[in-house]
């Protein structure tokens, strides 16, 4: 049996829902008649939360969002209920300067927030719905999304989940639709989009590279938002920022909150003057939120960092995270792009809700099979046996190789690992090594790298029988075809190196008592992971020089290596950081002496995905999808 107190609360909730429904009906009626607020007349309450977002009537489904109607597209009527936003100066100072893009009429917006909370009876009810975004052609990281979409929702059935895809966005009325359509960077599109659906529906927005930790309830966020209706948290502090900034990876708010509209208008006023000159995080991301909300002293509820951002979102190896270190965290962010986790996600991605996933629902379980041809389908242009023509059409493939090499004259070069391309210094020394060998007998020259040697140098040495370097790999081989004195041993040794899994140099080392075997190695003092990181540094320099004619700051006094992350330090400040991705791609960013950005880029297999070079805090060079 329910207690009398619980029965009373249920009756009160039902009455409030009916009242809200009636108020919104009057609002829609007034808007449809073209009524606008007059001077001295109380504003229409467009910003009142939808009754359906508060649970609807008894028995109504809570699994779908409120249907948006004509009133939700009448932005002129909405703007008439709020003060204009005055942002200035724009572009006069560095984006970190507090004077840049300052809100000049902050008092009016604070008063608007007070009126909004009074209209709610002093207590805001943030809807229990989780919003996430995945737009664009790439496969979504369902291994992370499903921690909310599947695991969290199963543990907390009173919550809902919404994933915003391209198809759903096309149906969403947007204040900044023009900006959204013109923007090409998906990260920036997501920044624009989150404010639009939070305005209409409210709820808790969570970035797609975050996970639910232990399926913990998000009710603490709802409770925190009762006082202001708008919840956000500060990012973890980093050395490259002059002051703390708000993170926009998690936002919780009520529908039609004045601060959500304030941010939408702030973005609208500043976007075109700043987007092509400074970094995205300062235009549509954390810096914008900090200037608009913190510098203007807006009434917001600040969540503890340990709840939402227990660590900075630069996590090259998510499997290494010990969540026992963060007992209070509700969620954790990995940093999909900045941590270089595309390869990690691709290898582990499994979708628990494929029928509901806007990406995987379109993916066939198996590719289409090619139909087997019939004898009548064969192209017979003469008296050709039908069976022969049929087999030729069906089995159109190359003849199998026998593993032999055309070893007749000259020097043969075999490259079987693309890592050699990154060993710039070794490749530059190669002509000199070949010249040294031309004055003495040699059969094989192996090119590779050694690690854990305690030395940082490039060497050429003879490999005696049983003298294979312990910590080494072989990336390429030069064969002295014309000058070898033992072709009978050389040819079968090379043939045995070809295996089903690639080139295995073990037979060559095993034949060191019959062949003159040499090894040219680029040595590294640290581990293999460190060696692979360090050998990528010259490649970063070459790419910037070739594309941008720019010299990146890659020299440092001290450095730190964390897995596949390298940080270079100079006079106690960070000069650069670089991540080597599992697929061989590189993420690099560097800073000037005043901690302003110097340059940044991301490479993938065979191309530069994007590159930016900065001068005087503005972008002076930008490139995308350039071949390496």
Q: Tell me which residue has tokens 């995270």.
A: 321
pLDDT at residue 32, as a whole number: 59
* pLDDT exceeds cutoff 90 at 243: no
Better-scored residue on pLDDT, 202 or 391: 202
The pLDDT-based confidence of 63 (bands split at 50, 70, 90) is: low
Identify the band that residue 263 occupies on the pLDDT scale cut at 50, 70 and 90: very high
Burial class, 580, CB count within 10 angstroms (exposed 0-12 / middle 13-18 / buried 19+): buried
More confident residue, 430 or 34: 430
| Range among 170-184, 409-423, 424-438, 466-480 with highest mean pLDDT value | 170-184
Residue 284 and residue 110: Cα distance in Å, rounded?
22
Share of the chain above pLDDT 70, in %: 84
Query: Which of 351-355, 397-401, 409-413 is the least confident region?
Result: 397-401
- Where does the pLDDT of residue 125 fall: very low under 50, low under 70, confident under 90, or very high at 90 and above? very high
Q: Cβ distance 199 to 256 under 8 Å? A: yes
DSSP state of 409: S
Question: E-assigned strands of 134-270?
Answer: 160-164, 203-206, 210-212, 230-234, 246-253
* pLDDT of res. 66: 84
Domain boundaries in the chain?
Answer: 1-66, 82-359, 411-523, 536-627
Say if residue 133's pLDDT is above 80.
yes
Neighbours of 426 (CB within 10 A): 22
DSSP string, 530-577: HHHHHTTHHHHHHHHHHHH--------SEEEEETTEEEEEETTEEEEE
User: What is the predicted pLDDT for the residue at 426?
Assistant: 86
Positive or negative, the CA dihedral 33, 37, 43, 49 is positive
pLDDT at 51: 34
The residues near 377 (Cβ < 8 Å, ≥ 6 apart) are 393
pLDDT at 405: 45
Mean pLDDT of 578-594: 86
Instruction: List the helix and strand counts (H, then E) for the chain.
Output: 21, 24
Which comes out higher in pLDDT, residue 255 or 627? 255
Q: Tell me the whole-structure pTM to 2 decimals.
A: 0.54
Q: From 37, 73, 301, select the one nearest 196 (Cα to Cα).
A: 73
Average pLDDT (38-55) is 40
- The answer to whether 417 and 472 have CB atoms below 8 angstroms apart is no
For the cut 80, the answer to whether the pLDDT of residue 46 exceeds it is no
Q: What is the pLDDT of residues 100-113, one digit of tens each?
A: 999 999 999 999 99
Taking residues 264-285, report their average pLDDT: 84
For residue 321, the model assigns a pLDDT of: 86
- Round to whole Å and give the CA distance between 260 and 109: 11
Q: What is the pLDDT of residues 134-172, one digit of tens each?
A: 999 889 999 999 999 999 999 999 999 999 999 999 999
User: 212-238, pLDDT tens digit by residue?
Assistant: 999 999 999 999 999 999 999 999 876
Please provide the DSSP assignment of 63-128 as one string: SSPPPP-HHHH-HHHHHHTSPPP-EE-SSSS-TTSTTTTEETTHHHHHHHHHHHHHHTTT-----S
> Strand pairing partners for 247?
233
The whole-angstrom separation of Cα 394 and Cα 453 is 55
- CB atoms inside a 10 Å sphere around CB 392: 12
Q: What are phi and psi of 293, to 5 degrees?
A: -105, -50
Rounded to whole angstroms, how far apart are CA atoms 354 and 153?
Answer: 16
- Per-residue confidence band for 278, with pLDDT thresholds at 50, 70 and 90: confident
- The encoded tokens of residue 86 equal 């005055």
Q: Quote the pLDDT of residue 84.
A: 95
Query: What is the DSSP pairing of strand 597-604 with strand 517-523?
Result: unpaired
Q: Tokens 């700043």 label which residue?
A: 274
Average the pLDDT over 230-256 and give the result.
89
pLDDT tier at 95, thresholds 50, 70, 90: confident
Per the CB < 8 A criterion, the answer to whether 238 and 231 are in contact is no
The pLDDT of residue 193 is above 90: yes
- Average pLDDT on 284-291 reads 92
pLDDT, position 315: 75
Q: State the average pLDDT over residues 188-209.
A: 96
Residue 611: per-residue pLDDT? 94
pLDDT of residue 388: 45
- Among 178, 152, 173, 165, smallest CA distance to 66 is for 173
CA distance 148 to 129: 11
At 48 the pLDDT is 40
* Superfamily of domain covering 82-359: Spore Coat Polysaccharide Biosynthesis Protein SpsA; Chain A (3.90.550.10)
End-to-end CA distance of the chain: 72
- Quick check: 549 and 535 in contact, CB under 8 A? no
Give the range with max mean pLDDT: 44-48, 425-429, 515-519. Answer: 515-519
pLDDT over 70 at 378, yes or no? no
The confidence score (pLDDT) of residue 281 equals 66
Mean pLDDT, the chain, whole residue set: 83
Which residues, 6+ apart, have CB-to-CB distance to 379 below 8 Å?
Answer: 389, 393
- SS3 assignment, position 21: helix
Where does the pLDDT of residue 13 fall: very low under 50, low under 70, confident under 90, or very high at 90 and above? confident
- The sign one gets for the Cα dihedral 306, 208, 243, 572 is positive
Residue 292 DSSP label: I
Q: Pick from 163, 154, 107: which is nearest to 135 by CA? A: 163
Ramachandran class of 199: left when φ > 0, alpha when ψ lies in -120 to 50, beta otherwise: alpha
d(CA 170, CA 135): 11
pLDDT at 399 over 50: no
User: Who's near 571: CB < 8 A, 6+ residues apart?
Assistant: 557
Does residue 402 register a pLDDT over 50?
Answer: no
297 vs 147: CA distance, rounded Å? 35
Burial class (CB in 10 A: 0-12, 13-18, 19+), 526: middle
Reference 148, options 196, 204, 221, 229; nearest CA is 204
Please say if the pLDDT value at position 260 is more than 60. Answer: yes
Q: Which of the two residues, 620 and 277, has the higher pLDDT score? A: 620
Widest CA span of the chain, in angstroms?
Answer: 103
> What residues pair up with 612 in beta bridges, in sequence order?
600, 622
pLDDT at 565: 84
Highest mean pLDDT among 179-183, 240-244, 552-556: 179-183
Exposed/middle/buried for residue 282 (C-beta within 10 Å: 0-12, 13-18, 19+)? buried
**3-class DSSP state of 475:** strand
Question: What is the Cα–Cα distance from 367 to 561, expressed in whole angstroms?
Answer: 42
Least confident of 150-159, 243-252, 347-356, 607-616: 347-356
């Amino acid at each position: 049996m329910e207690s009398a107190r619980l029965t009373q609360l249920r009756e009160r909730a039902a009455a409030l829902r009916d009242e809200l429904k009636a108020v919104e009906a009057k609002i829609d009626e007034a808007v449809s008649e073209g009524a606008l607020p007059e001077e001295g007349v109380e504003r229409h309450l467009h910003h009142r939360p939808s009754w359906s977002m508060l649970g609807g009537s008894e028995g109504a489904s809570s699994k779908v969002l409120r249907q948006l109607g004509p009133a939700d597209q009448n932005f002129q009527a909405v703007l008439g209920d709020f003060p204009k936003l005055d942002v200035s100066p724009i572009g006069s100072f560095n984006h970190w300067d507090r004077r840049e893009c300052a809100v000049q009429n902050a008092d009016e917006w604070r008063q608007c927030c007070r009126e909004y909370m009074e209209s709610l009876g002093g207590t805001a009810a943030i809807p229990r719905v989780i919003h996430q975004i995945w737009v664009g052609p790439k496969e979504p990281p369902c291994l992370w999304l499903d921690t909310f979409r599947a695991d969290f929702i199963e543990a907390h059935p009173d919550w809902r989940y919404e994933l915003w895809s391209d198809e759903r966005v096309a149906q969403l009325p947007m204040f900044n639709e023009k900006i959204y359509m013109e923007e090409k960077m998906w990260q920036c599109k997501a920044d624009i989009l989150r404010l639009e659906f939070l305005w209409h529906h409210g709820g808790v927005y969570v970035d797609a590279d975050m996970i639910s930790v232990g399926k913990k309830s998000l009710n603490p966020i709802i409770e925190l938002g009762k006082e202001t209706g708008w919840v956000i948290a500060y990012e973890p502090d980093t050395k490259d920022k002059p002051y703390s900034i708000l993170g926009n990876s998690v936002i919780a708010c009520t529908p039609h909150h004045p601060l959500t509209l304030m941010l939408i208008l702030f973005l609208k006023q500043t976007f075109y003057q700043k987007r092509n000159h400074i970094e995205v995080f300062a235009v549509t991301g954390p810096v914008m939120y900090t200037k608009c909300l913190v510098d203007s002293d807006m009434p917001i509820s600040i969540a503890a960092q340990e709840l939402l951002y227990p660590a900075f979102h630069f996590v090259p190896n998510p499997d290494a995270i010990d969540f026992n270190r963060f007992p209070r965290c509700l969620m954790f962010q990995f940093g999909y792009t900045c941590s270089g986790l595309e390869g990690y996600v691709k290898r582990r991605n499994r979708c628990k809700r494929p029928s509901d996933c806007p990406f995987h629902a379109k993916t066939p379980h198996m590719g289409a099979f090619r139909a087997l041809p019939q004898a009548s389908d064969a192209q017979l242009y003469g008296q050709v046996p039908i069976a022969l023509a049929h087999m030729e059409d069906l089995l159109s493939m190359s003849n199998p190789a026998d593993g032999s090499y055309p070893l007749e004259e000259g020097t043969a070069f075999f490259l079987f690992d693309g890592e050699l391309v990154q060993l710039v210094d070794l490749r530059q020394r190669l002509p000199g090594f070949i010249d040294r060998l031309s004055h003495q007998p040699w059969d094989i020259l192996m090119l590779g790298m050694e690690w854990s040697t305690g030395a940082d140098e490039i060497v050429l040495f003879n490999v005696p029988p049983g003298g294979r370097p312990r910590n080494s790999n072989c990336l390429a081989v030069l064969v002295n075809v014309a000058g070898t004195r033992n072709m009978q041993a050389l040819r079968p040794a090379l043939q045995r190196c070809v295996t089903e899994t690639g080139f295995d140099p073990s037979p060559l080392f095993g034949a060191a008592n019959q062949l003159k075997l040499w090894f040219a190695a680029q040595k590294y003092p640290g581990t293999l992971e460190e060696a692979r990181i360090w050998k990528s540094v010259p490649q970063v320099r070459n790419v910037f020089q070739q594309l941008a004619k720019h010299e990146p700051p890659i020299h440092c006094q001290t450095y730190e290596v964390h897995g596949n992350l390298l940080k270079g330090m100079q006079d106690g400040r960070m000069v650069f950081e670089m991540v080597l991705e599992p697929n061989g791609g590189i993420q690099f960013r560097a800073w000037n002496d005043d901690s302003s950005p110097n340059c940044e880029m991301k490479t993938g297999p065979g191309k530069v995905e994007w590159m930016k070079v900065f001068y005087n805090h503005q972008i002076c060079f930008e490139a995308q999808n350039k071949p390496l």
